[in-house]
Amino acid sequence: MLYLALGRGAWGELLAKVKVAAIQARPVGGDFRHPGNIRHALELLDECFRMDDEVQVACFPEYFPWSGGDELARKAEDLGMYVIAGLAEEEGGALYNSCVLIGPDGAILGRQRKLNLGLMERKHFGFSPGRELHVFDTDFGRVGIGVCVDFWGPPNVGRELARMGADLIFNPSFFFIFREVWHCLLLARAVELMVPIVAVDVAEFPFRLGDKVFESCGGLSCIIGPPWRDLDDFASWWYEPKFNWILGQLGYEEGILIRELDLDLARELRGAWFSRLLGREAPWP
Amino acid sequence: MLYLALGRGAWGELLAKVKVAAIQARPVGGDFRHPGNIRHALELLDECFRMDDEVQVACFPEYFPWSGGDELARKAEDLGMYVIAGLAEEEGGALYNSCVLIGPDGAILGRQRKLNLGLMERKHFGFSPGRELHVFDTDFGRVGIGVCVDFWGPPNVGRELARMGADLIFNPSFFFIFREVWHCLLLARAVELMVPIVAVDVAEFPFRLGDKVFESCGGLSCIIGPPWRDLDDFASWWYEPKFNWILGQLGYEEGILIRELDLDLARELRGAWFSRLLGREAPWP
């Protein structure tokens, strides 16, 4: 295993299978900056643990819960769970849209600041763009975080994460427009990269922006991965391929989606996929 | 205009609007190598001209008509039309899947050899991969050709064509599998590049490959472009965006799809799109 030395599993090796949760949270009062969001985030993590106490990593949407890193770290340690949370973080007078990865020991393993900011984020929230892309090593493999448009917009972020060895990519997002094309764009990323994707939106709520209310906002969180059981299943798929790569998805209500992903198998299938499709074992150079 | 000196319009300047045709041809006898394909291609070009004698560029799917470059060149000159045709071209003992661009004077302006070959093309047709990517200057602007998976698979080919100044990208394709996700992948390319796309498949026919017949093969050619009338229309779109970017599409039967594209407007909208979405005027670096 390539990242053996980097993993932190109790047995000194990577856990190939990982149970992931997409927590489609609804901001309290329809407001990302509501102080009650952190409490709601903690409740949702408890709820996730009640649903399945084997969940290893839970991911919130971007901006959620906005603040409360210390409380999240304590909860992550309580539950023995990795947590990815959307926090607005200040540094040097600038505000960043960060997705923070907290380990099951409560330590902050790192943060991914959003690189590409749409007009709303610049004007309404006053965010500054991040500059660096990271991957993070966990017990179950190497993780990348493409924050909202960073991942579904320009394809270079996903490609770079794959190049850096990401076995699993999280896409914490907030769709107040564009939600209708999200799955389409994610499917394109899956075809290009063949890396499992955990894509997390907020639950639907009326998003107020100045004097305008966006009603068709939120929902549709999903988990995408190669649908094949093994290499034989993969080989026979090509005779009548169906793109049932969405392993599970939520509707518009608040909810938690849990799936188990086999990252070893996904890695094997990745090489097979590109060999077959492009005549070489990797995505584009 | 940036490419003024490169255009070949009668008035010494680029024609911003261009009428394009996607010719969804059905190979004779369901066989790409059938000698009757060139005659059928010439008939379809005549039919296209009858439908609209202002069509400036007509594009066939890849592999079609397979051979007959000289006849196509004479027809292009007769009709005063640019023609993009799929030809199997030999050089140095290797066979290439080429899309050839013929000018309205009957001259061959260039060819794009397919860069990424799937298993079927390597084993069944015996193609070798091309190595270079080109753009071509015409009366109406700069043209790029991404052959089938080269464009809808890895995103770097489209990005490179855009970097080389392509105002319009053709995607001559053949889908014997995967047709159900083509529009999805094309929409991702449109979001990433915001360059008009003319995507041309063969008409549906039962494709025989060894002892297997692929019935769900062909169809769904389409033309994709920014749907906005002007920058005001673009600005108001964001309050309730709909991705009605497919300006026209065919079903599964043989047919010809004709649309007019405004490449000047598309160029203006491109800058506006990326500014709004990503906070900079260009696609990813």
pLDDT tens column, B27-64 = 999 999 999 999 999 999 999 999 999 999 999 999 99
| Dist CA B149 CA B155 (whole Å) | 10
CATH fourth-level superfamily of B18-278: Carbon-nitrogen hydrolase (3.60.110.10)
Give pLDDT tens digits for B101-138: 999 999 999 999 999 999 899 999 999 999 999 999 99
Alpha carbon distance B190, A141 (integer Å): 33
pLDDT of B14 above 80? no
A218 vs A28, A125, A159, CA distance in Å?
14, 18, 26
Beta carbons of B149 and A118 less than 8 Å apart: no
pLDDT tens, residue by residue, A11-67: 445 668 999 999 999 999 999 999 999 999 999 999 999 999 999 999 999 999 999
Residue B249's DSSP bridge partners are: B222
Position A7 scores a pLDDT of: 40
Shortest distance, CA B39 to any CA of chain A (angstroms) = 32
pLDDT digits (tens, 9 = 90+) for B64-112: 999 999 999 999 999 999 999 999 999 999 999 999 999 999 999 999 9
Please give the Cα distance from B10 to B4 (Å, whole number).
12
Residue B191: pLDDT band (50, 70, 90) is very high
> Which residues in chain A touch residue B184, judged by CB atoms under 8 angstroms apart?
184, 187-188
Specify the DSSP element, H or E, that contains B141. strand B141-145
Residue of B184, B194, B209, B234 to mutate when probing chain A, most A C-beta within 10 A: B184
The answer to whether B244 contacts chain A (CB < 8 Å) is no
The ipTM assigned to this model is: 0.92
Give me the phi and psi of B246, to 5 degrees please: -80, 105
CA pair distance B124, A142, nearest whole angstrom: 38
Helices of type H across B53-204: 69-79, 119-120, 149-152, 156-163, 179-193
Chain A nearest CA to B49, separation (Å): 35
A150 to chain B: closest CA residue: B278
Q: Quick one: average pLDDT of B136-147? A: 96
Asked, as a colleague might, if the bond just before A65 is cis with ω within 30 of 0, I would say yes
Binding-face residues of A in 102-121 toward B, CB within 8 A? 116-119
For residue A21, which of A47, A39, A40 has the smallest C-alpha distance?
A47
Residues of A within 8 A of B192 (CB-CB) are: 153-155
Name the token pair of A93: 């007078």
Task: Give me the pLDDT at residue A11, please.
Answer: 47
Give the model confidence (pLDDT) of A189-232 as tens digits. 999 999 999 999 999 999 999 899 999 999 999 999 999 999 99
Query: What's residue B1's pLDDT?
Result: 31
Query: CA-CA distance, B196 to B180, in Å (whole number)?
Result: 21
Over residues B146-165, mean pLDDT: 97
Arithmetic mean of pLDDT, B256-267: 96
Tell me what percent of the residues of chain B surpass a pLDDT of 70. Answer: 95
Instruction: Select the residue from A133, A150, A156, A179 to test the B interface by mutation, using most B Cβ atoms within 10 A.
Output: A156
pLDDT score at B239: 87
* Dihedral angle, C-alpha B224, B227, B231, B236, nearest 10 °: -140
Q: How confident is the model at residue A132 (pLDDT cuts 50, 70, 90)?
A: very high
What is the pLDDT averaged over residues B193-221? 95
Best residue of A121, A185, A212 to probe chain B, by most B CBs closer than 10 Å: A185
Report the alpha-carbon distance of residue B92 to residue B111 in Å, rounded. 16
Domain ranges for chain B, please list them.
Answer: 18-278
DSSP H stretches of helix in A201-285? 231-237, 263-278
What CATH number has the domain spanning A17-278?
A: 3.60.110.10
Q: Which residues, 6+ apart, have CB-to-CB distance to B46 below 8 Å?
A: B75, B79
Question: B156 and A119: CB-CB below 8 Å?
Answer: no
What percent of chain A shows pLDDT beyond 70?
95
Write out chain A residues lying below 8 Å of B177, CB-based: 238, 240-241
Residue B122 C-alpha, separation from nearest chain A C-alpha, in angstroms:
8
Q: Provide the shortest C-alpha distance from residue B151 to chain A (in Å).
A: 11
Q: Assess A122–B contact: CB distance below 8 Å, yes or no.
A: yes
What is the rounded CA–CA span in Å between residue B192 and residue B282? Answer: 10
Distance separating alpha carbons of residues B153 and A192, to the nearest angstrom? 6
Residue reference for tokens 């150079």:
A285
pLDDT tens for B237-256 read 998 898 899 999 999 999 99
- Cα distances from B141 to residues A210, A264, B33, B166, B229, in angstroms, run 41, 47, 33, 8, 20
How confident is the prediction for chain B on average, in pLDDT? 93
Buried b (16+ CB within 10 A) or exposed e, A82-103: bbbbbbbbeeeeeebbbbbbbb
Q: Note whether A205 and A40 are within 8 A (CB).
A: no
CB A153 to CB B277 under 8 A?
yes
Instruction: Give CA B128 to chain center in angstroms.
Output: 21
Can you list the alpha helix ranges (DSSP code H) found in B112-153?
Answer: 119-120, 149-152
Contact A185 B188 (CB under 8 A): yes
The candidate with the shortest Cα–Cα distance to B2, out of B10, B11, B13, is: B13
Any idea which of A5-9, A102-106, B172-176 has the lowest mean pLDDT?
A5-9
Asked whether the CA dihedral B112, B118, B122, B126 is positive or negative, the reply is negative
